[in-house]
Amino acid sequence: MKLSIVIVILLSFKCNGYEFPEDFKFGVATASFQVEGAWNISGKGESIWDYITHNNPNFIHDGSNADVACDTYHKTAGDVQLLKEISVDYYRFSISWSRIFPTGHTYSPNADGIRYYNELIDELLANGITPLVTMFHWDLPQALHELGGWPNPVLAELFVDYADKLFEYFGDKVKNWITFNEPYQICDFSYSDGILAPAYKQKGIGGYLCSYTVLIAHGKTYQLYQKRYKETQNGRIGITIQGPWFEPRTDSAEDKKAAENMLQFMFGIFAHPIYIGDYPKVVREEVNRLSTEENRRRSRLIAFTPQERDLIKDSADFLGVNHYTTFICTPRNAEIQEVLPMNTDGGASCYQDDEWAAAASRWFRLVPWGFRKVLNWVKEEYNNPEVIITENGYSDLTGELRDCDRISYYNSYLTEVLNAIHEDGCNIAGYTAWSFLDNFEWVNGYREKFGLYYVDFEDDDRPRTAKMSAYVYKNIISLTQDKLTLITRPRDSNGAEQLVSFCLY
Ligand code: NOJ
């Protein structure tokens, strides 16, 4: 198989194209709940996802849970060898808060949890792989949920306590931290729309309460690190935001405004306070206006005090961007069937074009040019900050090893990253494929597979098998490392189709 993959790469990436900058880094990602398993082993506490999968299995498409998942908890050495085999520079993984602090409070640490992450980090470093660690990727300790979860501002203090301990335990070895993965999904999807645990539906309220807490927690964590750890540990702290592209349906001013509002309500609401110093103007004005219209005594959006604005401003050394897909937006229109519930305060309705090729996830169609557009939007909006693409990848239902569609996806999306770097001057430092392994895809259980490695979930041992895309990704990384020209197809040629037909040949 390896030989044929080399041919695939050489055919699909043509000469005289762009290469990734010499110091550009490649990685793969996972998240604790999606892969670790060992849900109650050696003192681990329950998380909101343990709770919901056990108590409301209907919430998960296939009724499954992540009690065992990929069992990475028991497979550290073998998995690190797989990472080494595909030559990644770094591995993005998250820490399960309740594995280290079973109740979420830091006064009673669980020694086994600390041991587990120390071993993983040591094994990565021994194999020349840099850890990129997410502190929170959705698996809130259930005990903190019982205090109200993220809508309760007290959670900000508890998160900072937790982060402080992570710096203390692992900061001598971990130099790259992400505080939160996808705050919009943590907040709106979980507390406004109820499509992620804990599945609360307080539309227009829960999400903003949570966003406020998360931003305060992020800012305080950043400041704490600067004050107490930066000098000795010399690490970097960022946050990861999900950045779909929102394309106006037409060139009309109304459609353009609808699309821009979606960007501000989903992305700007988190990035703006960090890079500019407050929520975006349109978010403040619209939510305040609507709240008055609704006869509320106060705005649904929690305003920051000047001190809080200072705390949050300039609190990221890099910006993590997760990107998968694109939506088309127009002013709010009840007839439009939305593929995902979205914040409606921006007055937009968004959908996807049926003509766009579809991945397995119902919100996911392939629009490579949207990737370049969102990278450019970030560049313009925030003065070209350093961006690490912290997730990008493709889902199928089959888990097939000869995963040509996934290869084609990476080919076309990476081409847009190269265009964004070379033609547009976007400051992109790294790219992370989602995901290292097929894993527990939240409410979709094991049905949707994003892995470069296939995992047999029917086998107690959870064996992994490299898909063709794993070898392709390895070759892309190696080309860069060897400083060969990474060869990209011309923007409007049919490179992707060429590759697919080769795959099927
Ligand atoms: C983003 C999330 O961070 C990750 O957990 C999820 O699996 C992927 N999107 C794919 O849906």
Give me the DSSP letters along 304-347: PPHHHHHHHTT--SEEEEE---EEEEEE--TTS--SS----TT-
CA distance 377 to 26: 22
Can you give the pLDDT at residue 481?
A: 63
Active site (annotated) includes residue 182: yes
CA-closest candidate to residue 477, choices 84, 93, 4, 78: 84
- Decide if 107 is inside a domain: yes
Whether 478 and 89 have beta carbons less than 8 Å apart is answered as no
CA of 29 to the centre of ligand 1 (A): 10
Indicate the SS3 state at residue 423. coil
Amino acid identity of 432?
Answer: T
Can you give the pLDDT at residue 479?
A: 77
Active site (annotated) includes residue 391: yes
Structure tokens at 4: 């044929």
What number does the ligand 1 atom closest to the CA of 442 have?
A: 7
Which residue among the candidates 46, 182, 260, 441 is catalytic per the annotation? 182
- Decide if 264 is inside a domain: yes
- Decide if 426 is inside a domain: no
What number does the ligand 1 atom closest to the CA of 395 have?
A: 10
CA distance 202 to 212: 15
Q: Point out the residues of the chain with pLDDT beneath 50.
A: 1-16, 483-505
CA distance 106 to 422: 46
CA distance 271 to 278: 9
The CA distances from residue 111 to 36, 39, 68, 102, 125, in Å, are 17, 15, 21, 11, 21
User: Token pair 């055919």 is at which residue?
Assistant: 11
What number does the ligand 1 atom closest to the CA of 242 have?
A: 1
Residue-range definition of the domain harbouring residue 331: 2-365+389-405+431-499
Query: Best of 36, 241, 391, 413 to mutate for ligand 1, by most ligand atoms within 8 A of CB?
Result: 391
Indicate the SS3 state at residue 406. helix
Q: How many domains does the chain have?
A: 1
The distance between the two most distant Cα atoms of the chain, rounded to a whole number of Å, is: 67
391 lines ligand 1 (CB under 6 A): yes
Whether 208 and 301 have beta carbons less than 8 Å apart is answered as yes
CATH number at residue 476: 3.20.20.80
Contacts of 365 (CB under 8 A, 6+ apart): 325, 326, 352, 353, 356, 357, 358, 359
- Decide if 423 is inside a domain: no
CA of 324 to the centre of ligand 1 (A): 9
- Decide if 375 is inside a domain: no
392 lines ligand 1 (CB under 6 A): no
Can you give the pLDDT at residue 478?
A: 86
User: Token pair 């903003």 is at which residue?
Assistant: 208
322 lines ligand 1 (CB under 6 A): yes
CA distance 403 to 504: 10
CA of 228 to the centre of ligand 1 (A): 32
Q: What is the pLDDT of residues 314-342, one digit of tens each?
A: 999 999 999 999 999 999 999 998 899 99
- Decide if 111 is inside a domain: yes
- Decide if 251 is inside a domain: yes
Please give the DSSP secondary-structure letter assigned to residue 485. P
Q: What is the pLDDT of residues 92-122, one digit of tens each?
A: 999 999 999 999 999 999 999 999 999 999 9
Tell me the average pLDDT of the chain: 93
Which residue among the candidates 391, 416, 441, 448 is catalytic per the annotation? 391
Taking residue 31's Cβ as centre, other Cβ atoms within 10 Å add up to 24
Contacts of 429 (CB under 8 A, 6+ apart): 23, 24, 25, 318, 386, 387, 388
- Decide if 35 is inside a domain: yes
Can you give the pLDDT at residue 482?
A: 56
CA-closest candidate to residue 109, choices 51, 25, 165, 37: 165
Whether 204 and 165 have beta carbons less than 8 Å apart is answered as no
Closest-CA residue, ligand 1 atom 11, reads: 441
266 lines ligand 1 (CB under 6 A): no
Strands 318-322 and 176-181, by their bridges, are unpaired
